[in-house]
Amino acid sequence: MNIWIYILRRTLYIIPILVGVTFLIFVLFHLVAGDPTYLLLGKHASVSQMEALRTELGLDRPWFVQYWDVLKSSFTFDFGRSWASKQNILDMVKQGAIPSLTLTLPAFIIGLFLSIAISLFVSFHRGKPIDRVVVFITVALMSFPSLAYILFGQYFFGYKWGLFEISGYEFGFPYFIPYVILPGMIWVAVSLGPDVRFFRTLMLDEIYQDYVRTARSKGMTERAVLFKHVLKNAMIPIITHVMNQIPFLFLGSLLLESFFGIPGLGSLILEALNNNDFPTIKAMAVLIAVIYTFFNLVMDILYTVVDPRVRLG
């Protein structure tokens, strides 16, 4: 199939996905969540004030009219304003996505390259002391809760030794860098354990395949064997792993952002849920669905690039 037709077809999938996601969110919100007017008007709210607010928010209209509005805003990306903070939701997302990405993207890329490099190295030395040491370290890294890394890192690197900023964030390059180094290092440390173990297993699955032995017997260098054959053949699960993680990079990291005072998107959904802030919940659900669909499409296309046996269709 022509790649453009495939992309068009997959892009059109977004329509039923958005209809489904918005309907689910709409039903859940109206069934489970309480009346937002109690929260919005505070402790002195009167019945008439709550009724007036319900009318203003359109909550007294028939459900299908309300749902039509939800659907419309999802396709136009006009999410309006947050009920809780009265801020423009798209502005909130834009303002939050940049700090989130400045933290998560470099940390993710560094973590990914490090874990692939380490896993290639240890799979090459499988069974030797270095392999055992790395496995031990990765298990140890995985054994600590991420909060422990944060508390430890912030106390020693930030406060005690004064190497990094304890918390805060500055917008603009290069001012943000001092504030994301420590949380970025923690991100890498937290992800290194599971990622190295995962990639090591992938590499080991490949390293004893016949084609590797064939390549070696043909006199290929170890570097060529590892990078041209082993790594390339392990690319399908690596791409799946990476592409599944990318959408979450936009959402930031709740714990890291909250402890390091990074104004990202990490807490936006949680805050919206606590406040029964339906427009923000809806906007975030729609954006996640769109990002997820997009990266799934990219993933499918990348499969065809790394493995000629895979056909789009």
Partner 1 sequence: MKEKMKKSIPFFTLASSFLLSGAIFFLVSCAKKDKAGEKVLHLPVSAKIKGMDPIYTNDRYSVNAVGRVYEGLLSYHYLKRPFVLEPNLALAMPQVQDGGKTYTFKLRPGVLFHDDKCFPGGKGREMVAQDVVYSFKRTIANPKALGWWVIDGKIAGGNDFREKVAKGKATMESPIEGLKALDRYTVQFKLTEPFPQFLYAFAMTFFFVVPHEAVKHYGEEFINHPVGTGPFTLKEFKRTNRIVLHKNPTFRKKLYPSEGTPEDRKEGLLADAGKQLPLVDKLVIHINVESQPRWLSFQAGKLDLLEIPKDNFDTVVTPSRNLSPKMKKKGIKLHITPALDVTYTAFQHKNKLFSNLKLRRAMSLANDPHISNNLFYSSTALVAQSIIPPGIAGFISGFKNQWVGPDVKRAKKLLAEAGYPGGKGLPVITFDTSASTVSRQIGEFFKKRMDLIGIKVQVITNPWPELQKKIQTAQTMIHSLAWGADYPDAHNFLQLLYGPNKAPGSNGSNYNDPEFNQLFESIRTLHDSPERTKLYEKMYKIAADRLPWIYGVHRQSFIMTQGWLKNFKKMEFEQGTEQYLSIDLEKKKQLQAHF
Instruction: Report how far residue 287's alpha carbon sits from residue 253's, in angstroms, rounded to the nearest whole number.
Output: 17
| Contact call for residue 109 and partner 1 (CB under 8 A) | no
Mask for 120-159, x = binds partner 1 (CB under 8 A): -------------------------------x--xx--xx
Residue 55 CA: distances (Å) to CA of 40, 59, 66, 274: 14, 6, 12, 22
Query: Which residues make Cβ contacts (< 8 Å) with residue 104, sequence separation at least 6?
Result: 187, 248, 249, 250, 252, 253
**193 lines the binding site for partner 1 (CB under 8 A):** no
Q: For residues 226 and 252, give the distance between their C-alpha atoms in angstroms, rounded to a whole number.
A: 33
Q: Which of 3, 97, 88 is nearest to 300 (CA)?
A: 3
Binding characters for partner 1, 67-96, by CB under 8 A (x = yes): --------------x--xxxxx------xx
Nearer of residues 125 and 132 to partner 1, judged by Cβ: 125
- Measured from the CB atom, the residue of 42 and 308 that comes closer to partner 1 is 42
Stretch that binds partner 1, among 2-10, 63-71, 239-247, 261-269 (CB under 8 A): 261-269
Which residues, in sequence order, are CB contacts of 259 under 8 Å at separation 6+? 150, 154, 167, 183
Q: In the structure encoding, which two tokens stand for residue 202, read together?
A: 């992938």
Single residue of 222, 228, 244, 311 touching partner 1 by CB under 8 A: 222
Residue closer to partner 1, measured from CB, 158 or 237: 158
Q: Compute φ and ψ for 88, nearest 5 degrees.
A: -65, 125
**Sites of contact with partner 1 (CB under 8 A):** 33-36, 38-47, 49, 52-53, 55-56, 81, 84-88, 95-96, 99, 151, 154-155, 158-159, 162-171, 174-175, 177-179, 181, 221-223, 258-263, 267, 271, 274, 276
